[in-house]
Amino acid sequence: MLPTDAASARRVAGTYDTAEAAVERERTLALLAARPGERVLVVGSGPGQLLSELADVVGPGVHGIDPDPVMVTLARRRCHTRAVVEQRALHGPGSLPDGPFDAVACLQVLEFLPDPGPAPAELRRVLRPGGRLLVLDTDWTSLHWPGPGQDRHHRIRDAWCSTVPRPRLPHELGPMLRAAGFTDEWSERAPMRGPASHGYGATLREMVAAAAPGRCGLSRADVDAWAAAVAACGDEPFSVDRWFLGATAA
């Protein structure tokens, strides 16, 4: 679910205006527990909703980075002078702003990186000792859609998972964080659940439908028929498990 062009960037950005995303952000803010005067970095700040809500709490020490120019423009427009927003990407050593930060949030980014291996060490580098890391990633293998035809749902899910470099990253991150110098990790399941026909469910369905044709033996017609059947389910819910993972910089 990383943007590949301006149109997909706007589609991804739209998912963060939904009610489901607002609920998740509320939990994010509670878990991050940022205090006034802290320096907080948001890696992959997207359209900037979290930056803006953090700036309300923390004051001027909020910093966001995102490599996508559409996301950077949207975030700057939303935050004005209340947060620094830079166009840059997390990858290897030295890729993040130096900090030191009291807290770093990296939400829905690591699972999409072609190689997330070097990321934890770079996240650790920019935190002060005792600083807090909060990560959110999805276990895409848990994706459930309403409607008939389990076999078709499973093929669609597998097709989507084949587009995500690490579709089960939440279950692999613990050892990666420990190896990078984090301690006291914890995790919390954060199910994303809502109507399949509108809100976040509709946006996710569109993204899955755009990516699935040609994968797992699925034709464009198969995928269109699946998308129409899911849309017809109205308020019946889709669901997928996300996981918050937190840790402290040693």
Ligand X SMILES: C[S@@+](CC[C@H](N)C(=O)[O-])C[C@H]1O[C@@H](n2cnc3c(N)ncnc32)[C@H](O)[C@@H]1O
Bridge partners of 247, per DSSP, are 133
- Mask 4-43, x = binds ligand X (CB under 6 A)? --------x---x--------------------------x
Among 34, 40, 41, 50, binds ligand X (CB under 6 A): 50
- Mask 176-205, x = binds ligand X (CB under 6 A)? ------------------------------
Say if residue 104 is exposed, middle or buried (CB neighbours under 10 Å; 0-12, 13-18, 19+).
buried
Closest to 231 measured CA to CA, from 195, 207, 181: 195
Say if residue 130 is exposed, middle or buried (CB neighbours under 10 Å; 0-12, 13-18, 19+).
exposed
* 52 membership: H or E segment, kind and range: helix 49-58
Do residues 135 and 116 lie in contact, with contact meaning Cβ atoms separated by under 8 Å? no
Least CB distance to ligand X at residue 48 (A) = 9
Do residues 219 and 183 lie in contact, with contact meaning Cβ atoms separated by under 8 Å? no
Among 67, 97, 165, 213, binds ligand X (CB under 6 A): 67
User: Is residue 159 near ligand X by the rule CB under 6 A?
Assistant: no
Stretch that binds ligand X, among 44-52, 142-150, 153-161, 210-218 (CB under 6 A): 44-52
Do residues 193 and 185 lie in contact, with contact meaning Cβ atoms separated by under 8 Å? no
Give the C-alpha separation, 133 to 248, whole Å.
6
User: Is residue 113 near ligand X by the rule CB under 6 A?
Assistant: yes
Interface with ligand X in residues 221-240 (CB under 6 A): none
User: Is residue 51 near ligand X by the rule CB under 6 A?
Assistant: no
* 38 membership: H or E segment, kind and range: none
Least CB distance to ligand X at residue 21 (A) = 7
Interface with ligand X in residues 70-109 (CB under 6 A): 71, 89-91, 107-109
User: Is residue 46 near ligand X by the rule CB under 6 A?
Assistant: yes
Which value, in Å, is the radius of gyration of the alpha carbons in the chain?
A: 18
Among 68, 137, 139, 158, binds ligand X (CB under 6 A): 68
Give contact residues for ligand X (rule: CB under 6 A).
1-3, 12, 16, 43-44, 46, 50, 65-68, 71, 89-91, 107-109, 113
